[in-house]
Amino acid sequence: MEAAARLPSAAAEEVIRSLLRAAVGYERTGDVRYLTCLAQDALVTFRLRRDPETGKALDAAPASPGDPADAADVEEVLARHGL
């Protein structure tokens, strides 16, 4: 709960949004896989945020995606790695 309390408001809103989406998904499908995945991801995130230095680094990350012009071509990256 301590890590959740320290979340910036945008991150807290995302947690709430994800929880509501999971609830609606479960209500519509009866499938618990999304709920399970969400719970696992949340635990990892909160455990990471428990460390103050990691939390600062996560908070410093850009809130929105970068410029599409800066994106790498997926095929090019895979080829460069021999995949």
Domain with 41 in it: 2-80
Write the DSSP symbol of residue 62. Answer: -
Model-wide pTM > 0.95: no
Cα distance between residue 28 and residue 31, in whole Å: 8
pLDDT of the residue at 77: 85
Tens of pLDDT along 41-75?
888 877 877 788 887 887 787 767 777 777 888 88
Query: How many domains are there within the chain?
Result: 1
